[in-house]
């Protein structure tokens, strides 16, 4: 892949993130249209997409985004208000930019983009519309009085920006980058032009200027570097924090010579030679030709900014964090390698225990420790907060509720709950189906809700939380609920069940996941064709998850989805029944106790565990494993859905790092089995699904 292709790919990745942030900001702005901070955020996102798009050859994106940016610039300056129509058009513009970025249906997008631009221009009052031939120059921002008392997060930064001579060839205007940087706080910009040759030797296509910027702001280093993110390879860029409200004391501001030495504008030896004279240091250095007058001005400006931060001295210092972008396929390959390492380590452990070699056993234990640490670290890298998925649904709820004429608020909770990257990627579609059905079937129209004494505004809650070794996701609405009798009647009508079938209310509700089942009276753009809910269950099952329903007519419905934290590697407890081996997820295991034959009462299914009656099931009976039952069996007490349940086995072998392997299609529907793993000796053990086993 060429360098240009890599740059374009980098722009696409950054633009996708910006579009996601833009959508979230616009939805926040809808709830608080006068919030200046959010308006600025929208403008900056548009400004960055426009500038970067032009730089990397996405002229259609740059031209289109410029129109939206222009309107939001007026809103930012208070010349127009943020209306619902402006938000609707901007959200539509965001979708069109996404389509341009992905290169899908470009010919179909062009007329829509033209219409959006016309509609946006119509929102601008005639007196505010700039003439096409006129160059509009923004007034420089008035310097604000910075105060550590009002903002203790203020820091002063030294930024040296020296573009390469060929910067103009990339389509970049360095002045716009500096302008964007200066919007972040109080700034002093000093331009250096000492490298510009005489006019006959001047090449107008080369950038021969450089800048020193002293900026006092509450932004961190990452935010400052983001301004130059697309030109970092085309310039020399140095960003250093030279003081903050937390670190600057009255005696700590630096002298002029010290600053120039730190910036490599002059050597320490040269500085000491010049200091022997009695003239002011700045004048001496300038007269000696070691630095230019502009470089002295830059150092003086920095010195003045540091002095402004003297009053808020403290001992704390901000800790900067950094991150690195890694392609997903490399991370997937790493997890596969770790899985193979875990399997090989299990073989080594088993072999070392059979050899009775103390030195080999010590090496095996060390490899096992390192393998555990590498596994935990690798799986931790793959864990992502579910909030990134939740944030996408706010737009879905907003647009669909408006389309159906309903007023619906989406509330989210538990966004910090983490799930494996693969689980998150495959969870998006099932949750979209569930939310669409909730909006269409669950929440009533405002008039119907008012007639029932409800608030005309429907409410949907999207909650996530850790539950043992799983993540529990619930979608709760306060709508009409689901009538199990209506479900039964519809199922009989469609031939899903026989007329004489007896079903509990809970089983009747689960019929909505049957293929082709729908209770909609007519087909709409949202639902009614009998597809979607069966796909939801199939996708959740493929993730080794479970879905359940709980509904009360007239009060609402709760859809609960339980998912494993990861699909790759888990800690397990290995047990044995006759010659068969099984793995129980260790996160579900509480303790192990003995069950003697003499303690068994006829047909009893409970054990007395320290005064508490705990039900149990026999794994031998559940899977019809032949053989002789030992006199003393083991009961593995597990926690399933908050309830304690015992699993009776012949013997408990011990902990086992389990690399999960999916079963073939023939065995996917076997109740109580969720997968398989390879043991150290190469044989197979089945992974138990505790919840399904005890139903």
Q: Burial-class residue 35 by CB neighbours within 10 Å (0-12, 13-18, 19+).
A: middle
Residue 490: alpha-carbon gap to chain centroid: 40
| Whole-model pTM over 0.85 | no
Q: Give the residue among 30, 77, 85, 681 at the shortest CA–CA distance from 409.
A: 30
Neighbours of 407 (CB within 10 A): 15
Partners of 214 in beta bridges:
158, 188
289 Cβ contact list (under 8 Å, min separation 6):
none
The most distant pair of C-alpha atoms in the chain lies apart, rounded to whole Å, by: 109
State how far the Cα of 366 lies from the Cα of 373, in Å rounded to an integer.
11
Q: Are 606 and 617 in contact (CB under 8 A)?
A: no
- In this prediction, residue 9 carries a pLDDT of 77
- In this prediction, residue 194 carries a pLDDT of 78
Structure-block tokens of residue 446:
């405002």
In the block, which residue shows the tokens 């997890």? 335
Provide block-wise average pLDDT over 10 residues at a time, the chain (695 residues). Answer: 67 83 88 86 85 77 84 84 88 88 63 84 66 36 45 80 88 86 86 84 88 88 86 89 65 64 77 66 76 81 68 36 71 85 86 88 91 86 84 87 90 88 86 90 90 91 83 92 88 83 83 74 49 78 83 91 79 90 87 77 72 87 88 87 84 84 73 81 83 72
DSSP codes of every residue in 491-551 = HHHTTSS-TT----HHHHHGGGGSTT----SS--SSS-SS-SHHHHHHHHHHTT-EEEEEE
Partners of 572 in beta bridges:
585, 656
Neighbours of 252 (CB within 10 A): 12
State how far the Cα of 252 lies from the Cα of 662, in Å rounded to an integer.
63
In the block, which residue shows the tokens 């099984």? 582
- In this prediction, residue 603 carries a pLDDT of 52
- In this prediction, residue 367 carries a pLDDT of 92
Strand-by-strand arrangement of the 457-467 sheet:
407-413, 457-467, 470-477, 556-564, 546-552
What is the 3-state secondary structure of 244-265? ECCCCCCCCCCCHHHHHHHCCC
CA angle (520 as vertex; 515, 522 as ends), nearest 5? 115
Structure-block tokens of residue 364:
């095996």
Q: Give the residue among 381, 394, 374 at the shortest CA–CA distance from 325.
A: 381
215 Cβ contact list (under 8 Å, min separation 6):
156, 157, 159, 181, 182, 184, 185, 186, 187, 188, 224
State how far the Cα of 66 lies from the Cα of 47, in Å rounded to an integer.
8
213 Cβ contact list (under 8 Å, min separation 6):
157, 158, 159, 160, 161, 178, 181, 182, 187, 188, 189, 190
DSSP state of 568: S
641 backbone φψ class: left, alpha, beta (φ>0; ψ -120 to 50):
left
CA atoms within 13 A on the CB side of 647: 33
DSSP state of 593: E
- In this prediction, residue 363 carries a pLDDT of 93
- In this prediction, residue 621 carries a pLDDT of 87
Main-chain dihedrals φ then ψ at residue 666, nearest 5 degrees: -65, -30
């Amino acid at each position: 892949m060429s360098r240009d292709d890599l740059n374009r790919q980098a722009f696409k990745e950054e633009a996708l993130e910006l579009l996601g942030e833009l959508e979230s900001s616009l939805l926040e702005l809808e709830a608080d249209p006068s919030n200046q901070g959010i308006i600025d955020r929208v403008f900056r996102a548009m400004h960055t997409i426009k500038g970067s798009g032009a730089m990397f050859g996405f002229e259609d994106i740059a031209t289109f985004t410029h129109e939206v940016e222009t309107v939001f610039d007026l809103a930012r300056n208070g010349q127009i208000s943020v209306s619902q129509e402006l938000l609707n058009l901007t959200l539509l513009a965001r979708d069109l930019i996404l389509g341009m970025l992905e290169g899908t249906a470009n010919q179909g997008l062009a007329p829509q983009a033209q219409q959006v631009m016309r509609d946006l221009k119509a929102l601008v009052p005639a007196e505010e519309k700039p003439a096409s031939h006129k160059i509009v120059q923004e007034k420089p921002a008035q310097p604000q009085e910075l105060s550590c008392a009002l903002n203790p997060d203020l820091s002063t930064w030294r930024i040296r920006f020296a573009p390469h001579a060929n910067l103009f060839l990339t389509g970049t205007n360095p002045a716009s980058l500096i302008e964007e940087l200066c919007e972040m706080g109080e700034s002093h910009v000093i331009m250096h032009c000492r490298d510009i040759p005489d006019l006959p030797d001047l090449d107008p296509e080369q950038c021969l200027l450089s800048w020193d910027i002293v900026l006092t702001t509450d932004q961190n280093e990452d935010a400052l570097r983001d301004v130059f993110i697309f030109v970092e390879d085309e310039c020399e860029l140095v960003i250093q924090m030279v003081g903050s409200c937390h670190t600057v004391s009255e005696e700590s501001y630096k002298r002029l010579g010290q600053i120039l030495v730190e910036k490599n504008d002059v050597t320490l030896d040269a500085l000491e030679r010049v200091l022997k004279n009695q003239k002011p240091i700045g004048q001496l250095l300038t007269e000696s030709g070691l630095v230019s007058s502009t470089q002295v001005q830059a150092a003086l400006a920095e010195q003045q900014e540091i002095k402004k931060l003297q009053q808020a001295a403290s001992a704390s210092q901000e800790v900067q964090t950094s991150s690195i972008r890694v392609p997903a396929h490399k991370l997937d390959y790493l997890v596969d390698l770790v899985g193979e390492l875990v399997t090989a380590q299990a073989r080594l452990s088993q072999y070392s225990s059979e050899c009775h070699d103390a030195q080999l056993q010590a090496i095996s234990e060390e490899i096992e420790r390192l393998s555990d640490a590498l596994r935990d670290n690798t799986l931790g890298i793959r864990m992502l907060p579910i909030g990134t998925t939740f944030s996408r649904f706010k737009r879905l709820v907003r647009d669909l509720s408006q389309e159906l004429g309903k007023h619906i608020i989406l509330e989210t909770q538990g966004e910090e709950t983490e799930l494996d990257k693969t689980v998150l990627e495959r969870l998006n579609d099932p949750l979209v189906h569930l939310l669409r059905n909730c909006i269409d079937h669950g929440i009533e129209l405002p008039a119907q809700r008012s007639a029932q004494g409800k608030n005309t505004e429907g409410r949907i809650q999207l909650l996530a939380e850790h539950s043992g070794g799983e993540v529990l996701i619930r979608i709760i609405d306060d709508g009409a609920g689901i009538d199990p009798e209506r479900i039964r009647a519809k199922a009989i009508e469609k031939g899903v069940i026989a007329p004489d079938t007896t079903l509990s209310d809970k089983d009747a509700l689960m019929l909505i996941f049957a293929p082709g089942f729908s209770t909609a009276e007519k087909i709409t753009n949202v639902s009614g064709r009998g597809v979607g809910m069966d796909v939801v269950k199939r996708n959740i099952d493929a993730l080794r998850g479970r879905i359940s329903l709980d509904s009360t007519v007239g009060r609402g419905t709760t859809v609960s989805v339980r998912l494993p934290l990861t699909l790759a590697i888990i800690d397990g407890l290995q047990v044995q029944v006759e010659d068969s081996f099984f793995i129980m997820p260790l996160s579900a295991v509480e303790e192990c106790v003995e069950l003697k034959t003499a303690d068994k009462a006829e047909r009893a299914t409970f054990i007395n565990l320290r005064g508490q009656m705990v039900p149990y099931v026999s794994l031998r009976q559940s899977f019809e494993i032949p053989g002789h039952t030992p006199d003393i069996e083991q009961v593995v007490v597990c926690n399933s859905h908050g309830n304690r349940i015992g699993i009776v086995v012949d013997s408990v072998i011990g902990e086992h790092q389990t690399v999960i392997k999916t079963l073939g299609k023939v065995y996917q529907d076997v109740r109580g089995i969720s997968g398989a793993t390879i043991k150290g000796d190469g044989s197979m053990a089945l992974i138990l699904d505790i919840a399904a086993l005890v139903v």
